[in-house]
Chains A and B, each alone.
Chain A
Amino acid sequence: MTSLTPRTRAAITVGRLAADASRRFGRGSGEMIGGKLALRVSAGALGELAAQRPCVCVSATNGKTTTTRLLARALGTLGPVVSNSGGANMAAGVLTALARPPFDAPAALEVDEIWLPKVAREVRPRAVVLLNISRDQLDRSNETRRIAALWRQLGAELPGATAVANCDDPLVAWAAEGWSRQLWVSAGQNWTADGMVCPSCAQLLHRNDFGWWCDCGLARPEPSVLVSGSDELVWFGRHVHAKLDLPGRVNLGNAAMAAAAAKLFGVEVDDALAAMTGLGDVEGRYKEVPLGPGRRGRMLLAKNPAGWVEMMELLGSSPPRPVVVDFNSQTADGRDPSWIWDVPFERLIGREVHVAGERRHDMSVRLAYAQVPHDVHPTAEQAAAGAGAALVDVVANYTAFRDLLVRSAARARGEPGPPTAAFGPAGVADAVATLDETAPADGYRRYDDRTGYASPDKYENHDGYDSRGGYRSEGGYRGDEGYPGRSGGADEAGSRP
């Protein structure tokens, strides 16, 4: 720490104090709050701290938290690693990770896709892992091509840095093409609807089973690493066995990307994969949590169509448990729920399906048109209570997932807890959250994982949510058996406090 300016040293101290206070108030890890305050005290702290250590940034629409965690595990085979693997992935969260000792340890940094250029310009990473870009929160004008263009331009500003990039995603490949060095990984692309038009010339791309290409010359680069089976990689021409505890082919792709980045730091692939094994859940993803008496749920996060398609594949390769779909549309989720019509919910036909969440009626209509029999409940817990098995798969989007995790954690501690109320009364977080967000250069502001734009998301009663209601089915499509009577589906009955 000796080469830091006094201002940055003071910033770190202030940030730590705030983070400690936040933790004592039970408001999460404190990464965001501490980092925000530290950046206030020293705007140059990010670059100063990063200059002490080798850094790698991980960015994507989907999979960045998991991949960062896998990368941190792989780098951990060499010694201590710092990481913001708590999901606080903007400048403040990155700063908090960088402010942790030892100050010469490598840093594995998850960075929000819009924030990546601003953060990476300061941090000057040795490598950047670019996983995928797909439609997400379109109400924020996060056009996919615009994100790819930001990433491409970043490459020109980081001479010598390597893009560890997924060659199966045309937007990512075009972005990474602009960097001085690339390490191409075939991590797969389940969702292709955002990769139909050439990012370079806007003409339609050609596709076949082996790749994609455009008449303008842009084409899928040849990968050095590829996912070649459910538990196998091809690693620079050599077959490597890869058995993770994280489920699904999508996570094998994430592991391949992380292992490729770790190789740049001198980690052997076998050591990297061995270190990744044993990681079974990430920030609640894939974790089994209590959902009430006699009911448990495996938590699956699906924030957008690409994420849902990945979860469909994962559900298809798992035992056929009942599925609870928990769906909100708060600011952090994207206010516009239109995207659920892009998800092939028809694939749930034949499963026992229950719907919950603030926008449960939107999801219910989507499933009705997909001809997926289901019933509807205010909360995931109530949905699980009505399920025909003790263990269910819960697929939730961002705030639904976050709030359910908080409630289940309270349940695991033996607290009855209200069905909602993820956040307590005003504390340090609210005081600090009134500080201005450090906006990226392009003027984008994005929801912050810990504190939101200005204050924690309040639970919004969009759909007549009944916080006091007991178990109550609201009807639901019954498939070929026809529809239940209206009396069973009266949303108004008993739902108003």
Chain B
Amino acid sequence: MSGLSATRIALIYPELLGTYGDGGNALVLERRLAWRGLPAEIVPVRAGDPVPADCDIYLLGGGEDEPQVLAAEGMRRTGGVTAAVQRGAVVLAVCAGYQVVGESFPGSDGLLHDGLGLLEIETRRSFGPAGEPVPPRAVGDIVVEPGPALGLPPLFGYENHGGRTRPVAGAGGEALGRVRRGVGDGTAAGTDGRVSGRVVGTYLHGPVLAQNPALADLLLTWVHGGLPALAEPPEIELLRAARARALEVA
């Protein structure tokens, strides 16, 4: 992709999928390009507007139950995200967004709703036997050790979700990583998230890229190929060191 044209970062439905500071991911990506002298543009896509199919990166955040259903319906109707992914665009979907890019998820109405099917995963309140109580909401700090193929350091974040998520039979892609602390997908596999092609989903919610600059740069590499070196702002390393101490991750 040419360095001359601005990288377009679509922030999908911030009114519906923006509960936990999710707009921060767009800012992190935009700044990390700008600090390298690469032009970037954040494209907020308001709910109700068509999703443009010509952006390079699509960001889907977290939301409450009813807005999540509305967001899924809106994206399915306008088809922009799906068309962009077929073209090779990058997607980062967190929390409710992670559930929405899967094949199905439960709504507060008790019904199953169709997702976008960009990841071959399914979300339920519980995968336990019928009649057993559903597991409690997963709320708290989370640390994920990414799969070795990704070449990333531990991912730090916070999770807050009721759903449990698993790959469907024969699903493509890989888990994002192994959960070292927290719940993540909440299945016996002990994993969190999914990476398939250039689509990444995770329960690390909100501004996950703020604490995990290597993940941000991985997404940008998928768009740009090699990236110029960045004189990393020292705050970020200090934050990671502080989180590693607080979360007892060596």
Contacts and interface: CB of A to CB of B under 8 A. Distances in A.
Interface in B118-161: 137, 139-141, 158, 160
B78 interface: no
Q: Most chain-B Cβ atoms within 10 A of its Cβ — which of A138, A338, A342, A462?
A: A338
Interface string A463-475: 1100000000011
Contact of B47 (A204, A337, A366): A204
A463 B243 CA distance: 7
B233 A368 contact: yes
Nearest to B47: A204
* Chain B: interface size category: 35 or more
A462 B141 CA distance: 12
Nearest to B64: A143
Contact of B15 (A196, A364, A491): A196
Interface string B67-90: 100100000000000000000000
Contact of B245 (A337, A368, A463, A474): A463
Nearest to B46: A204
Given A197-B67, A361-B235, 13 more contacts: A141-B139, A193-B18, A202-B66, A203-B70, A336-B206, A338-B24, A339-B206, A341-B206, A364-B239, A365-B239, A376-B235, A474-B238, A483-B234
Contacts of A197: 15-16, 66-67, 70
Nearest to B74: A204
A61 B107 CA distance: 27
B235 A476 contact: yes
B20 interface: yes
A100 B106 CA distance: 50
Nearest to B69: A202
B241 interface: yes
A474 B141 CA distance: 25
Interface in A242-273: none
Interface of A: 135, 138-139, 141, 143-145, 193, 196-197, 202-204, 335-342, 361-362, 364-371, 376, 462-464, 474-477, 482-484, 486, 489, 491-492
A135 B210 CA distance: 20
Contact of A369 (B24, B137, B140, B160): B24
B235 A477 contact: yes
Contacts of B186: none
A365 B236 CA distance: 6
B205 interface: yes
A176 B58 CA distance: 38
Given A141-B137, A141-B139, A202-B66, A342 B21 contact: yes
A267 B137 CA distance: 48
A86 B221 CA distance: 54
B27 A364 contact: no
Contact of A489 (B47, B160, B231, B238): B238
Nearest to A488: B234
A368 B234 CA distance: 9
Interface string B214-228: 000000000000000
A141 B234 CA distance: 34
B139 to A, nearest CB: 5
